[in-house]
Amino acid sequence: MQEPQAGQTYCLIKIGGKYAQVSPDGTSITMLASMEGATLFPPEIAKQLIEALKSHGVQGGIELEEITPQG
């Protein structure tokens, strides 16, 4: 993931009320109680990831939370 840019919209992925943090190599997801340390995704990538999670059996409670970092 590249560094977030001010003014751009990103998405956090929440599953069951916890935030997703994807490992640097993209092979695992850790669930965090707070958004601190959670992975920021461009909106289209977040939507694709949610579809992939659903197709692999993750059911219900998946949400996108949009944020726009400020400078």
Torsion of CA 65, 20, 54, 11, to 10 degrees: 30
* pTM listed for this prediction: 0.80
pLDDT at 34 (0 to 100): 96
Cα 60 vs. chain centroid, distance in angstroms?
15
Q: Which among 61, 12, 3 is positioned nearest to 39, based on CA atoms?
A: 12
Look up residue 39 and give its DSSP letter: P
Per-residue pLDDT in tens (0 to 9) along the chain, 71 residues: 557 777 889 999 999 999 999 998 989 999 999 999 999 999 999 999 999 988 989 887 899 999 987 86
Domain ranges of the chain: 10-67
Residue 64, φ and ψ in degrees, nearest 5: -105, 135
